Chains A and B, each alone.
Chain A
Amino acid sequence: MGPFRSTADPDERGDPDLDKLLVLVARGDREAFEAVYDRLAGPVYGLIRKVLRDPAQSEEVAQEVLLEVWRTAARFDPGRGSAAAWALTIAHRRAIDRVRSETAAAERELRSASAQIPVDEVAESVEASLEAEQVRRCLEGLTELQRESITLAYYGGYSYPQVAALLETALGTIKTRIRDGLTRLRDCLGVSW
């Protein structure tokens, strides 16, 4: 299962079942929600932990996000993307909200020196699935600046001005590298949207 619809491998397409389950959840179906939980908890928790690092904080935010999926399921519109993309967008937002909150900001100052995220680390916690392999390969296909900008922003939780400062590169350059890199990544992954 996956959040993106890969044209490369029909078995690895997005998860239409998950989309349907979420529609049931919107009607208050708690059994459907349990199935949604089983599919999304791993990616949601993993992404949040990737950004926040701290396990206790990550669990707290993951709990809020999964409950938000329950609470706001009626806002999910299958016509505008997959259920996984919708939920993971919420998860990333909430993780970033936490990162940008003041207390977390102070802690982050301390470890900004270790901000570099090597490509090797990206798939540390997932079995070598086709999808992970494909994402890694596509990341490797980006220029170094594109890749660093995207991973620092997405996994590192840095704003693009912070990314620019970390990479000692002009703001405008980072802005365009992120966009160009995402476009290239999107085309490489063959996501449909």
Chain B
Amino acid sequence: MRGRRELHALAGAYALDALDGAERERFERHLRRCPACERELRGFAATAAALAMVATAEPPPGLKQRVLTATAVTRQSPPEVAERRVARPAARSAPRSPWVPRIALAVGAAGLAAAAALGVVEVATQHRLDSALAHNQQIAAVLAAPDARLATAPTTAGGTAVVVVSRAQEQLVFTSSGLPPLPAQQVYELWLLGPGTARPAGLLPLPSGGKTAPVLASGVQADDKVGVTVEPAGGTSSPTTTPIVVMTLPV
């Protein structure tokens, strides 16, 4: 067992994320009992942030819209009310991918869309609609809109694209089933296709059980179609490949 002094000395390396697994865990255990270390780390975190600011760079143009769109389908974590952690709680206690809630959501909402496709809408899905509402009000609002219309279409890559659109809300929800998996360096990207324009409308999440979690697209205009292309990871601001599906939105 190494002494406290030696553990203290790890504070700098810890602040720069330069400790590996076991040592990091040892330090974090120590940290919970060491207010002086926590104070020191706070100063180091602020110092590291100053180093980060210096590296500021112009983010890619499509990023903002994708992030803002994703917030619509990403449930927020509640605050920690019991057992407050000592150091840097969010950074350390959130190992889950931010996509997890969206994938979990896929089961509910994609199931709902499929049920709608089969004509089993009203009573049978009310329960699922409730749970979708609990998970995500915006998607549920589109699915439950009085003017919601559903369309499905096969894609040239295989599988089926499913769209639920609400003209009144100018929003649509896109899900799919059976799309072939892509290599890690590629993604499916969703587009709103107006006359002579293509507006990026989000990246399809990795499929879970063959289905992709619903993606919400806003700002749907009267003569828009919706399309999907295969793009390099991270997506692009305009399509670079032939769409695997282009769907006319139902009126």
Contacts and interface: CB of A to CB of B under 8 A. Distances in A.
A20 interface: no
B60 interface: yes
Contact of A132 (B54, B76, B92): B54
Nearest to A74: B79
A122 B54 contact: yes
A89 B91 contact: yes
Nearest to B10: A175
Question: Which of B17, B53, B72, B97 has most chain A Cβ within 10 Å?
Answer: B53
Contacts of A145: none
B3 to A, nearest CB: 13
Nearest to B43: A193
A33 B57 contact: no
Size band of the interface chain A makes with B:
35 or more
Interface stretch (B63-71, B151-159, B162-170, B192-200): B63-71
Chain A contact residues: helix, strand, loop or mixed: helix
Contacts, number: 246
Interface in A20-67: 26, 28, 30, 33-34, 37, 41-47, 49-50, 55-57, 59-60, 62-64, 66-67
Interface of A: 2-5, 26, 28, 30, 33-34, 37, 41-47, 49-50, 55-57, 59-60, 62-64, 66-68, 70-77, 80-82, 84-86, 88-93, 96, 100, 103, 122-123, 125-126, 131-132, 135-136, 150, 153-155, 157-161, 163, 172, 174-176, 178-183, 185-186, 189, 191-193
16 contacts: A3-B46, A28-B76, A33-B71, A37-B64, A55-B60, A70-B70, A75-B89, A86-B91, A90-B90, A126-B54, A135-B53, A154-B16, A154-B51, A160-B13, A186-B47, A193-B45
